[in-house]
């Protein structure tokens, strides 16, 4: 209810929906802290129909690669993590088999990696890229959505094999002063306010 459909946010959702609904391999959502990347990701999930499943939301991408792949396999299959340590080979096999079955059932998986700018390991980025090679009848079984702050951009530049898979890149700009005022007014109305609370000078100070 509180989501403010600002121009940059709406444009980002449309671009990312295009990438997912057309079964593109990967897409990028990037912006400074506080521009609404996580909220856009949540609204994006709400707009996708049931054929786009499972949607795995990774919010802690700094795991060691073997643990990361095991986590993704568990999340895709909807299983609780086992007590025994998993191996990269077994996790990759599980992911590959699941994506094949998922595609034959008419579904398309989505992996949203939040805070992707925190990933420092080239091995992790490479493992995420390799997941995009799992195809069924020439179509990728998963769309990877990298979400992060602008520090992510130079990291991707150093990984051209992954960057070239990003068919859509959406950069969220900060709200303008006018949009900031509309954002605050919208949130207040949804919360139950029936009259203005802040004067224009306060809105300008908030934006600044």
**CA 72 to each of CA 28, 59, 86, 161: distance values in angstroms, whole numbers, following the listed order:** 19, 12, 12, 21
pLDDT per position as a tens digit, 106-161: 999 999 999 999 999 999 999 999 999 999 888 899 999 999 999 999 999 999 99
Q: Within its chain, how far is the Cα of 137 from the centroid?
A: 25
Kindly indicate the confidence band of residue 84, based on its pLDDT and cuts at 50, 70 and 90.
Answer: low
Smallest CA-to-CA distance from 9 within 147, 194, 208, 115 is with 147
Average pLDDT, whole number, for the chain? 93
pLDDT of 183-198, one tens digit each?
A: 999 999 999 999 989 9
Which among 49, 64, 57, 142 is positioned nearest to 96, based on CA atoms?
142
36: left (phi over 0), alpha (psi -120 to 50) or beta: left
CA–CA distances in Å: residue 51 to residues 69, 107, 131: 23, 5, 20
Distance of CA 63 to the CA centre of its chain: 17
> H-helix or E-strand containing 102?
helix 88-104
Angle between helices 65-77 and 122-131 (to 10 degrees): 30
Check residue 200 and give its pLDDT. 87
């Amino acid at each position: 209810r509180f989501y403010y459909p600002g121009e940059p946010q709406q444009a980002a959702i449309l671009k990312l929906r295009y990438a997912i609904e057309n079964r593109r391999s990967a897409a990028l959502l990037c912006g400074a802290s506080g521009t609404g990347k996580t909220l856009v990701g949540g609204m994006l999930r709400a707009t996708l129909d049931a054929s786009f499943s499972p949607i795995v939301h990774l919010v802690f991408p700094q795991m060691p690669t073997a643990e990361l792949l095991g986590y993704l396999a568990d999340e895709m299959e909807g299983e609780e993590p086992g007590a025994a340590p998993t191996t990269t080979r077994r996790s990759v096999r599980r992911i590959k088999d699941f994506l094949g079955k998922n595609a034959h059932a008419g579904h398309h998986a989505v992996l949203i990696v939040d805070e992707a700018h925190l990933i420092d390991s080239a091995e992790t980025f490479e493992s995420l890229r390799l997941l995009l090679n799992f195809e069924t009848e020439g179509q990728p079984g998963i769309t990877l959505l990298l979400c992060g702050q602008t520090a992510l951009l130079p990291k991707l530049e150093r990984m051209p094999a992954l960057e070239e898979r990003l068919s859509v890149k959406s950069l969220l700009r900060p709200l303008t002063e006018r949009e900031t005022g509309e954002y605050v007014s919208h949130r207040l109305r949804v919360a139950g306010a029936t009259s203005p609370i802040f004067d224009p000078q306060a809105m300008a100070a908030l934006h600044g």
